C-alpha cells in the first residue's frame, strides 16, 4: 500500500505529541496529565487494565470528548474544540472498540464509506485503495457482498480496520482490536498490524492484551487509573514485573 | 356503487396515495438520519404549489422574502463563526450562496415576472425558490439542537410548522389556488375517464421513488445518509459530518415536498394551510412503516389514499375522522408486535 | 414564611383582581386561568415525565362538549356532567395511553396529533353536537347557591381550580409516587430495578393531564355558555404545549407564567400585526413559532427559572423528621444460598455474550465477578436482576426461579443493585434519590399524596433514606443535588439507594471506580460490615487490590464463560487467569 509522504514529513518525525492531557466526566478526572508521542512508522501501544481510561484517551484524541492539555497533530496544535471531521481530513482515524460498522450495508459499501472524506475532497482512487485493503484482508474480498451485520467477530474487526485504511490514514488508532476475539484470530489481526507498520502509517494501539501488544509495538505506555504509570521500549516493559502487578493487583502498594 | 365509480375513486385514491407515499418516504428519511420528526413536510407541499400559482398569476411569490430572510440568518450565523476562526476564504461563497443568490432571484422576479415562461421553466423557478428553504431551516432551527432529544426536536418541528403556516397566509393569502393542468389528455378505462394529470402524478411519483432508490443504493452521498441513519458514531468517524447529512436530508425532503405540491396543484385546490393535513397523511403511512421501513411506508401511504377516497364517497363529512382514526389500530398493532426496549434519552 | 411570601402576595392580588380590574382584564385573566389548568397537566406530563401531547385541546373539548350536550339536551346538573366528563375523558385517555405509551417516546405525540385532528372533525360533523355552529344556551353554574353569572364571579371558581391543581401536583411530586414519576425521564431502567411500575406511572400522569384538560373544558363551557369546535382544534393543542414550554415545562408555576405570557402576547399581536402587515389573519403564530424555536435553543427550561432568580432561593434542604423505622425483612441465616445461577446463556442476535455461566452467592459472603473488558460481566448482572433476562439457563433467587419475573418483581423479593453507569437523577437531592430505593417499602398512592394523607409514611421513608446515607458516610451531602457530587460519591449514593430497599442480596457493578484510596477503604469497611450482618454481596470490580482484599470467593470470566473460580489467592495464581488478563500470542 502506498502512502504519499508530504514533503515536510520525514521518517521519525513526531506525528502526534500529547502533553498533560486531562479529561474529566463531571468532577472526576478520567485522565490525569497523560503525555505521549508517536512517530511516523511507529507502533505505540497503551496497555492497562479494565477501566484505566484507555478508550477515553482515544475518544479525546479523536475529538469525540472535550479535553484539556496540549495536543499537537502533524505539527499543528489542536484547539479545545477539535472536530472529528477535520481530524479525519488530516489523516487521523479511529477503529473504535465497538467497531461501529454499518450493519445493514455490504462489506464493500462499508469500505467505500471509509473513503467518504477523500471522495468529498476530490480523490477518486477508492477502487485501487479497496484492492489494497483486499490484499491485506483477503477474507473481506470473499465476503464483499455480504452485509456487515452478518460477519463473524474477527471479520468485523478486519472490516473496521479495512474501512479505516480506506481513508489512507497518517495515524491509525486501534481500540482493543483483540476484544472478544479467539486467540487464533487475534494472532492474525496482530500479524496484519505488524504488516501495516511497513507502509509507514503511525499506529496507536490501545490494548488490554498486554503481551500481544508489546510484542509488535516499538514503545509502550501503561495506563493505570487514568495516569501513565510506566513507559518504555516494549521489550523492557514486557519483562517488567510491575506490568503484571498493574493487571492483577498483586502488589499491595499505595 | 358500480364499477365505474369504484374505478374513479380508486384512481383518486392512488393519485393521492402516490403523493402521500412520496411524503412518507421523505419523513422516514429525515427521521432515520436526523431523528427529526419533520412535521413541516406538508408546508413544503403548500409552498411548492402556491409559489407556482403566484408565478403563473404574475405575482412575486412571498417565498422569495423568506428565502432572503433565512439566507441572511444563515450567512450571519455561519459568517460570525468563520470570522472568529479566521477562515476568511470561505466567507465569499457563504455570502454568495445565502444572500447573493436570493437577492438575484428577487431582482429577477421583479425585473421580469415569469408569466411568459413555459410551464417547465416556471416549475424549475418554483423549486429553486422553495427547496433551499429546507437546508436553511436545518441550519437555523435544528443544527443548534443536534444533541437534543427526539421530543425537543419534535416540538421544534411543530413550532416551525406553525410559523410556516402563518407565513403562508401572509405570502399567499387565505384564498386557495389551483394551477392549470400539465396535460389535457384523457383516456378511458373500463368506461371511466382517466385523466392525463392522474397518470402524470403516478408516473412522476414512481420515477422519483426509483430515482431516490438509485441515489441511496448507488451514490456515495446516498450511502453516507444511510450510514448516518444506521450508526451515527460510525459515520462521524468516517468524516461524514452530521450537519452535512442533515442539510442533505432536508434538501431532499423540501424537494420532495415542493414537487409533490406542484404535482397535485392542478388536481386539488391548495390553501396556505392545506399542507398540514396532506403531510400528516404521509405520516400515517410512515407510521405504518414504523418510521423505519421505506417500502411499508410507501404501501401504507397508498392505502391511506385509497381509504380516504372511498370514505369520502360513503361519509364525506367524516373523511378526516376516518383517516386519522386509522392511526389508532395501526399504533395498537405496532405496539403489540414490536418488542420495544425503552431507550434512555436525556 | 419568607419563602411563602411571593405566593401569598400572588394569591392576594388574584383575590382583589376582579374587584378593581376592568371587564376586559378579568376576561383575559379567566382565559389565562383556563389555559393554565391545561398547561399544569402538560408540565407534569412533559416537563416531569418526559412524555408529551399536542392533543390536550381534544380532552378540553371532551369536557366541554359532554357538559354542553347533557345540560342543554337532558337538563342534567352541571356538577354531575363534570363527573361524567371526567369519567369519559378518563376512559378515552386510558385507551389512548394504553396504545401509545407502550411504544417509543415519539409515538405518543404523533398519536396525539392524529386524535386531536380526528376529534376536532368529529365535534364539527356530528349533528347532535351542533356541527360547526356548536351548542348554545349552556346553563350557569351555582356554587352553594351562588349563581356564577358574570365573568367576575366565575373568575373565582377558575382560579380556585388553578391553585388546587398546582398545590395537588406539587404535593404529588413531593411524595413516594412523585419520585417514581420524576424518575420516568431518564431513569426508567433504574426505577424499574428499584421496584417502580413505570408503565403504570406513565399512564397515571397521562390520565392526570387529560383530566385537568377536561376540567378546563367544563369550566370553559359554563363560562362562555356556548361551545363550537374551534377552540379544541390541534392548533390550540399546540398552543397549550407552547405555553408550558415557554413558561418552563419543569415547573408548575411555569404553566401559569406561560399561559399568561402567550395569552397576553397573542392579544397584543392580534391587535398590532394585521395593522403592520396590512392584512387580517392570525399572524401571531409566526411570532410564536419563531419564539418557540429560540426558547428551545437558548433557554430550554423556559422563563420560570429566570423569575426564580428573583425569588428567595429554595434549597433542596428539608427537615428529616425522626420517624419510626420501617419494618425489615427477616434476615437470611449466614450460609443460605441466596442466588443460584446455573448454565446461564445470553445471546444478542447471533452474538453470545454469556455462555453456560454458573455462579452462586450465599448470605454473609462477598462474591467477586472479574474478567477482562467485554467478558460479559455486566450482561450477567443484567440477567440476574432481570433488567435484560437470560436467553437460556436457570436463575433462582431464594429458591424461586426468576424466569417469569421482571426487574421490579425481583427487587420486591430482596435483591437490589447499582449500575456500572451511574443512574441517579442529577437534579434531585441525594436524600430523594436514596428514597427511591425505599419505594417498595411504602404503599400510599397518587391520591393520598395529592391530598397529603401520606405524611406519616413519607416521614418513615425519608428517615430510612437518611439513615442509609449516614451509613455510607455521605451525611454532609444529603441535601446536595446528586449530580453535583463527584462520580465516586455518586456510586456510593447508588449503594445507599440499594440499601434503602432492605435487600438480602446486593449486586454492585464497579462500586470502587473513581474513588480515592481512602474512600475505597471506607467502602471496603462498609461492605465488610454488611457481610457481617448477613447480607450477600455480588461484586463486579476492576480494582484488583480492592477485590482481592475483600472477596471471599472469586469467579473469573472470559469470552462470556467462567474460566476460574475459587479463593482470591488461588485465582491469582491460576495460569488461565494470567493468560486472560495479560493475553499472549505466541
Three-state SS string over C427-446 comes to: CCEHHHHHHHHCHHHCCCCH
Three-state SS annotation for C212-265: HHHHHHHHHHHHHCEECCHHHCHHHHHHHHHHHHHHCCCCHHHHHHHHHHHHHH
**Cα C475 from Cα C485, distance rounded (Å):** 13
Indicate whether A82 pLDDT > 80: no
Calculate mean pLDDT across residues A225-237: 91
pLDDT of residue A81: 66
Q: What is the mean pLDDT of residues A97-106?
A: 93
CB contact under 8 A, B230 and A85: no
Q: Do B239 and A102 touch (CB under 8 A)?
A: no
Q: What is the pLDDT of residues C48-98, one digit of tens each?
A: 998 889 999 999 999 999 999 999 999 899 999 999 999 999 999 999 888
Contact between B181 and B197 under an 8 Å Cβ cutoff? The reply is yes
Tell me the ipTM for this assembly.
0.91
Residue C185: pLDDT band (50, 70, 90) is confident
Size of chain C, expressed as the number of residues it contains: 586
Q: How many CB contacts within 8 angstroms connect chain A with chain C?
A: 82
Residue-averaged pLDDT of chain C: 90
CA C414 from centre of chain: 23
User: What is the band of C361 on the pLDDT scale with cuts at 50, 70, 90?
Assistant: very high
Nearest to C125 among B141, B318, B335 (CB): B318
Asked if C264 contacts C249 with a C-beta cutoff of 8 angstroms, the reply is: no
Q: Is the pLDDT of residue C395 over 70?
A: yes
Q: Sheet containing C392-397: give its strands across.
A: C351-362, C337-348, C392-397, C400-401
pLDDT of residue B41: 96
Please give the backbone phi and psi of residue A244, each rounded to the nearest 5 degrees, phi first. Answer: -65, -40
Comparing C-alpha atoms, which of C254, C219, C229, C221 is closest to residue C240? Answer: C254
What is the percent of chain C with per-residue pLDDT over 70, rounded to a whole number?
Answer: 98
Q: What is the pLDDT of residue A249?
A: 64
Judged by CB atoms closer than 8 Å, whether chains meet at C486 and A28 is answered as: yes
Backbone angles phi, psi at B157, to 5 degrees: -60, -45
Taking contacts as CB-CB distances below 8 angstroms, the residues of chain C near A208 are 372-373, 581, 583
What is the residue-wise DSSP string for B47-93?
HHHHHHHHHHTT---THHHHHHHHHHHHHHHHHHHHHHHT-GGGHHH
pLDDT above 70 (res C264): yes
Segment A118-125 mean pLDDT: 94
- CA distance between the termini of chain C: 76
Q: Which residue has the cell 493487583?
A: A249
For residue B282, what pLDDT is reported?
Answer: 92
Contact C485 A27 (CB under 8 A): yes
Strand order of the β-sheet with A68-73 is A28-39, A14-25, A68-73, A76-77
Q: Which helix (H) or strand (E) holds B142?
A: none
Residue A194, Cβ density class (10 Å: 0-12 exposed, 13-18 middle, ≥19 buried): middle
Instruction: Using a pLDDT cut of 90, give the percent of chain C over it.
Output: 59
pLDDT tens digits along C144-174: 888 888 888 899 999 999 999 999 999 999 9
Task: Judge whether B288 and B57 are in contact, CB under 8 Å.
Answer: no
CA C310 to chain centre: 27
Cβ contact, residue pair A50, C578, below 8 Å: no
> pLDDT-derived band of residue A6, with 50, 70 and 90 as boundaries?
very low
The overall average pLDDT reported for chain B is 89
- The pLDDT score that the predictor gives to residue C387 is 84
User: Which residues, other chains included, contact C88 with Cβ-Cβ below 8 Å and sequence gap of 6+?
Assistant: C62, C66, C214
C-alpha cell at A195: 504488516
| Chains within contact range of chain B (3+ C-beta pairs < 8 Å) | A, C
Q: Does C374 touch chain A (CB under 8 A)?
A: yes
List all residues of chain B from 258 to 317 with a beta carbon under 8 Å from chain C: 277, 280, 283-284, 287, 291, 317
Distance to chain C for B83, nearest Cα, Å: 22
Asked whether residue A2 carries a pLDDT value surpassing 70, the answer given is no
Residues of B in contact with A112 (CB under 8 A): 220, 223
- CA–CA separation, B179 vs B269, rounded Å? 8
Q: Quick one: cell of A115?
A: 473513503
Check if A241 contacts C (Cβ < 8 Å). Answer: no
Spatial distance between the Cα atoms of C37 and C212, rounded to a whole number of angstroms: 6
Return d(Cα C483, Cα B140) in angstroms, integer: 31
Q: Which of C510, C513, C582 sits opposite A211 (nearest CB)?
A: C582
Report whether C369 contacts C377 (CB < 8 A). yes
Q: In DSSP terms, which residues pair with C346 in a beta bridge?
A: C354
Whether A253 shows a pLDDT value over 50: the answer reads: no
Do B328 and C284 lie within an 8 Å CB cutoff? no
User: Could you say which DSSP state residue B131 is in?
Assistant: T
Contact: B234, A85; criterion CB under 8 Å = no
Secondary structure, 3-state, C270-320? HHHHHHHHCCCCCCHHHHHHHHHHHHHHHCCCCCHHHHHCCCCCCCCCCCC
Q: Closest chain C residue to A51 measured between Cα atoms? A: C542
- Per CB-CB distance under 8 Å, the chain A contacts of C543 are 51, 225, 249
How many whole angstroms separate alpha carbon C235 and alpha carbon B158? 10
Nearest-CA neighbor of A95 among A140, A53, A61?
A61
Q: Is the pLDDT of residue A220 over 70?
A: yes
Torsions phi, psi for C357 (to 5 deg): -85, 135
Taking the Cβ of residue C548 and every Cβ of chain A, the question of whether any pair is shorter than 8 Å is answered with yes
Of B181-190, B244-253, C473-482, which gets the smallest average pLDDT?
Answer: B181-190
pLDDT, tens digit, 9 for 90 and up, residues B128-184: 999 999 999 999 999 999 888 888 999 999 999 999 999 999 999 999 999 888 888
- Cell 428551545 belongs to residue: C296
Quick one: CA torsion of C139, C140, C141, C144, rounded to 10 degrees? -120
**Using the beta-carbon criterion (under 8 Å), do A102 and B226 form an inter-chain contact?**
yes
pLDDT single digits (tens) C87-142: 999 999 999 888 888 776 677 888 888 888 888 988 888 888 888 889 998 998 88
For range C555-577, the mean pLDDT: 88
CA-based angle C338:C341:C347, to the nearest 5?
145
Considering only CB atoms, A84 lies closest to which of B226, B230, B237, namely B237
Residue B177 DSSP code: B
Report the distance separating Cα C411 and Cα C497, nearest Å.
Answer: 12
C86 Cβ contact partners less than 8 Å away, ≥ 6 residues apart: C63, C211, C214, C215
**What's the pLDDT score for residue A95?**
96
Contact between chains at C288 and B163 (C-beta distance less than 8 A)? yes
> What are the tens digits of pLDDT across the range B293-331?
888 889 999 999 999 999 988 888 788 888 888 877 887
pLDDT digit string, tens, across residues B65-92: 999 999 999 999 999 988 987 788 889 9
Average pLDDT, chain A: 88
Identify the three-state secondary structure at position A219: strand
Mean pLDDT for B237-242 is 93
pLDDT band per the 50, 70, 90 thresholds, residue C584: low
For chain C positions 191-220, those within 8 Å of chain A (CB to CB) are none
What pLDDT was estimated at residue A247?
Answer: 76
How wide is the angle at C-alpha C104 spanned by C-alphas C100 and C109, nearest 5°?
55
- Segment A215-238 shows an average pLDDT of 92
- CA C377 to each of CA A48, C31, C553: distance values in angstroms, whole numbers, following the listed order: 18, 57, 16
Nearest to C296 among B156, B280, B291 (CB): B156
User: C-alpha angle with apex C314: C313 to C320, nearest 5 degrees?
Assistant: 145
Whether residues A27 and C585 touch (CB distance < 8 A) is answered with: no
Q: Cα B310–B315–B318 angle (5° rounding)?
A: 105
- Which residue did the predictor score with more confidence, A4 or B154? B154
CA dihedral (B259, B265, B271, B273) positive or negative: negative
Contact C373 A27 (CB under 8 A): no
Q: Which residue has the cell 400510599?
A: C444
Is C117 in contact with B320 (Cβ distance < 8 A)?
Answer: yes
Residues A53-72 have a mean pLDDT of 92
Contacts of C581 in chain A (CB under 8 A): 49, 208, 247-248
C309-352 pLDDT, tens per residue? 877 766 777 777 788 888 888 888 888 999 999 999 998 876 78
pLDDT tens for each residue of B35-64: 899 999 999 999 999 999 999 998 899 999
CA-CA-CA-CA torsion sign (A213, A215, A216, A221):
positive
Write out residues 36-95 of A within 8 Å (CB-CB) of B: 62, 64, 84-85, 88-89, 93-94
What's the pLDDT band for A47 if we cut at 50, 70, 90? very high
* CA atoms of B246 and A40, how far apart (whole Å): 36
pTM of the model: 0.88
C363 near C336, Cβ under 8 Å? yes
Residue whose C-alpha cell is 452462586: C360
Instruction: Among C351, C374, C583, select the one facing A211 at the smallest CB separation.
Output: C583
The answer to whether the CB atoms of C283 and B327 lie below 8 A apart is no
Quick one: pLDDT band at residue A3, thresholds 50, 70, 90? very low
Of B151, B156, B163, the CB nearest to C50: B151
CB atoms A186 and C583 under 8 Å:
yes
Answer whether C374 sits within 8 Å of A27, measured CB to CB: no
Distance from the Cα of A94 to chain B's closest Cα (Å) equals 7
| pLDDT average, residue stretch C193-216 | 95
* CB contact residues (below 8 A), chain B span 144-203, against chain C: 144-145, 148-152, 154-156, 158-167, 169-170, 173-174
pLDDT band at B338 (very low <50, low <70, confident <90, very high): low
Contact list, C585 vs chain A (CB under 8 Å): 183, 186-187, 190, 209, 211-212, 215
Domains located in chain B, CATH noted: 3-58+113-337 (1.10.3470)
Phi and psi of B54, rounded to 5°? Answer: -60, -45
Task: With cut-offs at 50, 70 and 90, classify the pLDDT of residue B113.
Answer: confident
Read off the pLDDT band of B1 (50, 70, 90): low
The residue-averaged pLDDT of C214-218 equals 97
Q: Which of C49, C11, C48 is nearest to C33 (CA)?
A: C11
Name the residue among C368, C353, C360, C362 with its Cα closest to residue C540: C368
State which residue of chain C sits closest to A210, comparing Cα positions: C582
Q: Helices in chain B by DSSP H: which ranges?
A: 3-34, 41-56, 63-85, 91-95, 101-111, 119-130, 133-137, 150-172, 196-218, 220-230, 232-237, 242-264, 274-288, 294-314, 319-325, 327-337
Give yes or no for A104 touching C (CB within 8 A): no
Residue B344 confidence class, pLDDT cut points 50, 70, 90: very low
Q: C175 CA to chain A: closest CA distance, Å? A: 29
Write the CA distances from C538 to B184, C346, C361, C526, integer angstroms.
78, 19, 7, 14
Quick check: C117 and B280 CB within 8 A?
Answer: yes
Q: What is the mean pLDDT of residues A89-96?
A: 94
Residues 6 or more apart whose CB falls under 8 angstroms from that of B152 comprise B145, C296, C300
pLDDT on residue A243:
85
User: Per-residue pLDDT for B116 more than 90?
Assistant: no
Amino acid at each position: 500500500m502506498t502512502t504519499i509522504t508530504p514533503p515536510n514529513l520525514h521518517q521519525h518525525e513526531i506525528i502526534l505529541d500529547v502533553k498533560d492531557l486531562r479529561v474529566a466526566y463531571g468532577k472526576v478526572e478520567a485522565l490525569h496529565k497523560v503525555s505521549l508521542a508517536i512517530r511516523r512508522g511507529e507502533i505505540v501501544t497503551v496497555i492497562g487494565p479494565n477501566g484505566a481510561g484507555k478508550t477515553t484517551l482515544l475518544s479525546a484524541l479523536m475529538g469525540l470528548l472535550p479535553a484539556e492539555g496540549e495536543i499537537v497533530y502533524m505539527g499543528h496544535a489542536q484547539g479545545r474544540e477539535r472536530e472529528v471531521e477535520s481530524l479525519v481530513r488530516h489523516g487521523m482515524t479511529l477503529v473504535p472498540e465497538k467497531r461501529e460498522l454499518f450493519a445493514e450495508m455490504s462489506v464493500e459499501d462499508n469500505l467505500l464509506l471509509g473513503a467518504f472524506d477523500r471522495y468529498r475532497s476530490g480523490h477518486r482512487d477508492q477502487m485501487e485503495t479497496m484492492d489494497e485493503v483486499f490484499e491485506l484482508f483477503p477474507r473481506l474480498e470473499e465476503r464483499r457482498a455480504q452485509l456487515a451485520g452478518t460477519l463473524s467477530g474477527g471479520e468485523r474487526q478486519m472490516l473496521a480496520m479495512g474501512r479505516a485504511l480506506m481513508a489512507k490514514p497518517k495515524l491509525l488508532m486501534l481500540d482493543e482490536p483483540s476484544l472478544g476475539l479467539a486467540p487464533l484470530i487475534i494472532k492474525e489481526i496482530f500479524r496484519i498490524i505488524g504488516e501495516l507498520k511497513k507502509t509507514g502509517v503511525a499506529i496507536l494501539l490501545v490494548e488490554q492484551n498486554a503481551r500481544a501488544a508489546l510484542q509488535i509495538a516499538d514503545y509502550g505506555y501503561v495506563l493505570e487509573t487514568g495516569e501513565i504509570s510506566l513507559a518504555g521500549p516494549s521489550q523492557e516493559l514486557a519483562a517488567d514485573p510491575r506490568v503484571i502487578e498493574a493487571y492483577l493487583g498483586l502488589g499491595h502498594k499505595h | 356503487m358500480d364499477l365505474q365509480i369504484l374505478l374513479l375513486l380508486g384512481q383518486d385514491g392512488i393519485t393521492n396515495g402516490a403523493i402521500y407515499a412520496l411524503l412518507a418516504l421523505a419523513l422516514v428519511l429525515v427521521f432515520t438520519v436526523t431523528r427529526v420528526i419533520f412535521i413541516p413536510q406538508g408546508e413544503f407541499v403548500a409552498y411548492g404549489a402556491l409559489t407556482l400559482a403566484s408565478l403563473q398569476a404574475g405575482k412575486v411569490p412571498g417565498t422569495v422574502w423568506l428565502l432572503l430572510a433565512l439566507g441572511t440568518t444563515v450567512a450571519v450565523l455561519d459568517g460570525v463563526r468563520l470570522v472568529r476562526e479566521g477562515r476568511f476564504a470561505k466567507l465569499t461563497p457563504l455570502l454568495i450562496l445565502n444572500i447573493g443568490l436570493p437577492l438575484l432571484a428577487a431582482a429577477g422576479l421583479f425585473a421580469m415576472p415569469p408569466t411568459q415562461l413555459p410551464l417547465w421553466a416556471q416549475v424549475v423557478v418554483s423549486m429553486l425558490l422553495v427547496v433551499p428553504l429546507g437546508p436553511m431551516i436545518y441550519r437555523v432551527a435544528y443544527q443548534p439542537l443536534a444533541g437534543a432529544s427526539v421530543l425537543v426536536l419534535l416540538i421544534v418541528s411543530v413550532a416551525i410548522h406553525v410559523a410556516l403556516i402563518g407565513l403562508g397566509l401572509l405570502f399567499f393569502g387565505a384564498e386557495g389556488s389551483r394551477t392549470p393542468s400539465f396535460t389535457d389528455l384523457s383516456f378511458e378505462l373500463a368506461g371511466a375517464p382517466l385523466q392525463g394529470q392522474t397518470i402524470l402524478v403516478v408516473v412522476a411519483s414512481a420515477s422519483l421513488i426509483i430515482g431516490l432508490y438509485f441515489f441511496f443504493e448507488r451514490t456515495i452521498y446516498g450511502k453516507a445518509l444511510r450510514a448516518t441513519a444506521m450508526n451515527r458514531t460510525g459515520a462521524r468517524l468516517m468524516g461524514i459530518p452530521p450537519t452535512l447529512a442533515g442539510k442533505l436530508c432536508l434538501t431532499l425532503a423540501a424537494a420532495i415536498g415542493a414537487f409533490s405540491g406542484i404535482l397535485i396543484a392542478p388536481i386539488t385546490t391548495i390553501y396556505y394551510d392545506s399542507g398540514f393535513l396532506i403531510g400528516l397523511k404521509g405520516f400515517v403511512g410512515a407510521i405504518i412503516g414504523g418510521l423505519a421501513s421505506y417500502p411499508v411506508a410507501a404501501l401504507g401511504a397508498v392505502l391511506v389514499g385509497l381509504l380516504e377516497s372511498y370514505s369520502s364517497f360513503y361519509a364525506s363529512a367524516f373523511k378526516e375522522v376516518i383517516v386519522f382514526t386509522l392511526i389508532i389500530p395501526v399504533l395498537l398493532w405496532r405496539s403489540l408486535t414490536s418488542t420495544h426496549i425503552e431507550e434512555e434519552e436525556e | 414564611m419568607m419563602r411563602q411570601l411571593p405566593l401569598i402576595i400572588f394569591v392576594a392580588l388574584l383575590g382583589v383582581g376582579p374587584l378593581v380590574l376592568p371587564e376586559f382584564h378579568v376576561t383575559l385573566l379567566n382565559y389565562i386561568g383556563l389555559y393554565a389548568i391545561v398547561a399544569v397537566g402538560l408540565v407534569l406530563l412533559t416537563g416531569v415525565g418526559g412524555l408529551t401531547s399536542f392533543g390536550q385541546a381534544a380532552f378540553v373539548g371532551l369536557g366541554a362538549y359532554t357538559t354542553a350536550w347533557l345540560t342543554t339536551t337532558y337538563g342534567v346538573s352541571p356538577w354531575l356532567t363534570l363527573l361524567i366528563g371526567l369519567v369519559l375523558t378518563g376512559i378515552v385517555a386510558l385507551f389512548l395511553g394504553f396504545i401509545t405509551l407502550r411504544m417509543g417516546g415519539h409515538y405518543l405525540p404523533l398519536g396525539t396529533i392524529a386524535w386531536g385532528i380526528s376529534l376536532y372533525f368529529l365535534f364539527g360533523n356530528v349533528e347532535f353536537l351542533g356541527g360547526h355552529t356548536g351548542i348554545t344556551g349552556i346553563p350557569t353554574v351555582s356554587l352553594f347557591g351562588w349563581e356564577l353569572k358574570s365573568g367576575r364571579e366565575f373568575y373565582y371558581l377558575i382560579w380556585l381550580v388553578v391553585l388546587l391543581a398546582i398545590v395537588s401536583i406539587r404535593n404529588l411530586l413531593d411524595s413516594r409516587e412523585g419520585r417514581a414519576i420524576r424518575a420516568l425521564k431518564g431513569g426508567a431502567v433504574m426505577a424499574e430495578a428499584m421496584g417502580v411500575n413505570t408503565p403504570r406511572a406513565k399512564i397515571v400522569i397521562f390520565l392526570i393531564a387529560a383530566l385537568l384538560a377536561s376540567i378546563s373544558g367544563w369550566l370553559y363551557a359554563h363560562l362562555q355558555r356556548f361551545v363550537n369546535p374551534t377552540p379544541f382544534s390541534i392548533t390550540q393543542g399546540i398552543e397549550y404545549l407552547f405555553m408550558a414550554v415557554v413558561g418552563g415545562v419543569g415547573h408548575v408555576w411555569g404553566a401559569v407564567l406561560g399561559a399568561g405570557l402567550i395569552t397576553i402576547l397573542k392579544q397584543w399581536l392580534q391587535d398590532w400585526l394585521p395593522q403592520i402587515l396590512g392584512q387580517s389573519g392570525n399572524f401571531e403564530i409566526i411570532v410564536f413559532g419563531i419564539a418557540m424555536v429560540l426558547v428551545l435553543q437558548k433557554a430550554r427550561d423556559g422563563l420560570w427559572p429566570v423569575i426564580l432568580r428573583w425569588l428567595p432561593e429554595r434549597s433542596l434542604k428539608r427537615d428529616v423528621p425522626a420517624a419510626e423505622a420501617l419494618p425489615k425483612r427477616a434476615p437470611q441465616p449466614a450460609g443460605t444460598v441466596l442466588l443460584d445461577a446455573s448454565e446461564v446463556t445470553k445471546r444478542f442476535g447471533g452474538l453470545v455474550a454469556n455462555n453456560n455461566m454458573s455462579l452462586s452467592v450465599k448470605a454473609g459472603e462477598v462474591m467477586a465477578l472479574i474478567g477482562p473488558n467485554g467478558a460479559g460481566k455486566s450482561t450477567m448482572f443484567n440477567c440476574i436482576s432481570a433488567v435484560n433476562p437470560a436467553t437460556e439457563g436457570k436463575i433462582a433467587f431464594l429458591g424461586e426461579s426468576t424466569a417469569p419475573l421482571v426487574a421490579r418483581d425481583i427487587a420486591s423479593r430482596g435483591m437490589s443493585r447499582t449500575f456500572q453507569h451511574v443512574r441517579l437523577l442529577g437534579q434531585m437531592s441525594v436524600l430523594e434519590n436514596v428514597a427511591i430505593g425505599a419505594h417498595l417499602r411504602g404503599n400510599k398512592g397518587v391520591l393520598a399524596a395529592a391530598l397529603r394523607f401520606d405524611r406519616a409514611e413519607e416521614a418513615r421513608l425519608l428517615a430510612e433514606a437518611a439513615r442509609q446515607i449516614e451509613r455510607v458516610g455521605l451525611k454532609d451531602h444529603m441535601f446536595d443535588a446528586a449530580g453535583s457530587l463527584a462520580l465516586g460519591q455518586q456510586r456510593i449514593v447508588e449503594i445507599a439507594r440499594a440499601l434503602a430497599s432492605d435487600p438480602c442480596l446486593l449486586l454492585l457493578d464497579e462500586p470502587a471506580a473513581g474513588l480515592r484510596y481512602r474512600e475505597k477503604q471506607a467502602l471496603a469497611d462498609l461492605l465488610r460490615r454488611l457481610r457481617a450482618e448477613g447480607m450477600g454481596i455480588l461484586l463486579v470490580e476492576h480494582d484488583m487490590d480492592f477485590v482481592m482484599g475483600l472477596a471471599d470467593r472469586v469467579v473469573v470470566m472470559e469470552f462470556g464463560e467462567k474460566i476460574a473460580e475459587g479463593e482470591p489467592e488461588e485465582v491469582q495464581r491460576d495460569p488461565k487467569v494470567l493468560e486472560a488478563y495479560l493475553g499472549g500470542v505466541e
